[in-house]
Chain A
């Protein structure tokens, strides 16, 4: 079987595409748009996923919340010691933090309290403690903010400080002592760090309470075991392990991505019908041309091959064009419009850029969902054309 690429047939196919330009341009545009949508959706979801993966990996092994009537309420600090007594627990860190809604910009900040003498539950805070002079923060009663937040505050004419509104309505002015860059863009545009005492003051929390506890565990395989012990000890607690979070995030994303894909598949099949229809409508000129080809010695197979080349060239060029466009749209323009559909919390969280993330897997998904489907749509129309009678030329 010799199957070397037939350059002449290829040239002929390219010419055929151009000779029937208006029909093919229509197909090209619709198909490119479709692939563009698909790849943009996949790129956005991949980016957010990889961003979340970093976030989740930096999460604590176990987080314990206290529930009352199904809602999380503050944890009394008195529980720390009994939790520490469980075998395998390395550290229990009470967390003081909350979301602060900044109405002027319409965004939520995560305000996080840390204490230097404590074990830090997040790499970022350890780094911050190393980098900034924490004592000064205390004396100044100042705070550290992410670079993204700095931008937001500057846009709202805050220079070097910010006024928080306490629950009782009074203002509390906090100085900005430093600006940091997080590991992820999400981090930098979301987090404000200050001493725990200050956070309690801003949110009006009691000094003997924390929002929740973070538990560090020596041996990761013990996690499920210890989690169940905690629930036994304090039946009103909700225990969240890192693994739980990871899987539920993954599922949420696959689910959302899947929903969009299902929609996509429906539109792809609609497109399939359009192509089928377009390819089926053969003009009398085209009919005559096929007759000529067969009369001068082209077999059914040769004509099918020519039609395949045409379909492949159109779909592959569309594929590459759409891919380039959507890389530009997602990573350079930061996916306006589409991104918001995807991240449910985007209106609450501050803006962040989508990190570049492109792998072979995504590339193959986009390819398999588009090019073979297009070619499939042309099979029957091409065959119809190819099996027309050669005596067309005698009429």
Chain B
């Protein structure tokens, strides 16, 4: 086990999340069981107050988690100096078999906790608090995911081994890799480019039609196709190397930290899209503000990734 200051920091905060998360978990269970706005009992009165404690805890966890996620990536990147063979965070994260699973939960939790706050906001808009039970159910699920994430993270840090040789991202993200996603490298990469632009066009169309179900579905698809096409195609133009497929290296200084910009815009765009769509369906009312934020950020993302191959073509007259 490595005991760098970065790891201690992350673990200390995990411990705090766990402590408060458990408190919020037990309150949530009581609330989904006993919540009854029509009751004037002491229990209901207590639960109403405790629901604010849960909301405060979730706000806290979410707000700290956002920058902490970037810090985690930063740390993984830094550890790549110490761990033999790793060139960037990808090698470090994948030095354990559950590395990508851990990453998946980290991102999923950012969406869930963020959406919780949106739901809470709408819940408190109406005196009948129509979403109270939903939001506490959502938290119960979110808490279980949080537990998994923290468990994987602790396991990850304890199994990091400086003397073990890990693969660098060059081999991880190639057809030769044994990982579950290696098959995508065997497919013609242009398909993914077409697919990306097709989904993007549909997404814009769905905003024009203001069809909430379409917006919801397409935003989810957009997250995945964006990441896949970034790895397969757009990333190679960021690196200007046809064989370098890595979603991590672009977070480094050599590429002007463009990765952070890309991932953050993608997160904001799709987060607002998904939450806006769900709330539109629940409220039977178009959540324009959420849609507008979503459109803007999703378009910014598409523009940035498209700019890389286009400028490359203009400069060099050929595609990679």
Contacts and interface: CB of A to CB of B under 8 A. Distances in A.
Interface of A: 1, 42, 247, 250-251, 254-255, 257-259, 261-262, 265, 268, 300-301, 304, 361, 364-365, 368-369, 372-373, 375-376, 379-380, 382-383, 386-387
The majority secondary structure among interface residues of chain B is: helix
A361 B78 contact: yes
18 contacts: A1-B289, A258-B8, A261-B5, A262-B3, A300-B52, A304-B56, A361-B74, A361-B78, A364-B67, A368-B68, A369-B9, A376-B16, A376-B20, A376-B60, A379-B56, A383-B56, A386-B52, A387-B53
Nearest to A247: B162
Nearest to A261: B8
A265 B12 contact: yes
Given A258-B3, A365-B9, A368-B67, 5 more contacts: A254-B2, A255-B3, A258-B4, A304-B56, A373-B12
A265 B8 contact: yes
Given A254-B3, A361-B74, A379-B20, A368 B9 contact: yes
B56 to A, nearest CB: 6
A368 B71 CA distance: 9
B165 to A, nearest CB: 11
A204 B53 CA distance: 76
Interface in B54-90: 55-57, 60, 64, 67-68, 71, 74, 78, 82
A146 B55 CA distance: 62
Nearest to B11: A265
Nearest to A262: B8
The 9 closest A-B pairs by CB, nearest first: A258-B3, A387-B49, A383-B53, A254-B4, A261-B8, A300-B52, A372-B64, A368-B9, A376-B16
B3 A379 contact: no
A365 B82 contact: no
A367 to B, nearest CB: 9
Given A257-B5, A376-B20, A250 B82 contact: yes
B260 to A, nearest CB: 12
The majority secondary structure among interface residues of chain A is: helix
Nearest to B52: A300
Question: What band does the interface of chain B fall in when counting residues whose beta carbon is under 8 Å from A?
Answer: 20 to 34
B52 A251 contact: no
Interface in B171-197: none
B152 interface: no
Interface string B266-306: 00000000000000000000000100000000000000000
Nearest to B64: A372
A364 B68 CA distance: 9
Contacts of A369: 8-9, 12
B11 to A, nearest CB: 9
B6 interface: yes
Given A247-B82, A373-B12, A365 B52 contact: no
Contact of B5 (A258, A375, A382): A258
A361 B6 contact: yes
A1 B121 contact: yes
A379 B60 contact: yes
A301 B52 contact: yes
Nearest to B121: A1
B52 A304 contact: yes
A51 B2 CA distance: 22
B13 A257 contact: no
A375 B8 contact: no
Contacts of A251: 162
Given A369-B9, A379-B20, A387 B74 contact: no
A251 B78 CA distance: 14
A375 B64 CA distance: 10
A379 B61 CA distance: 11
Which interface residue of B53, B64, B74 has the most chain A CB atoms within 10 A? B53
A364 B74 CA distance: 10
A209 B124 CA distance: 84
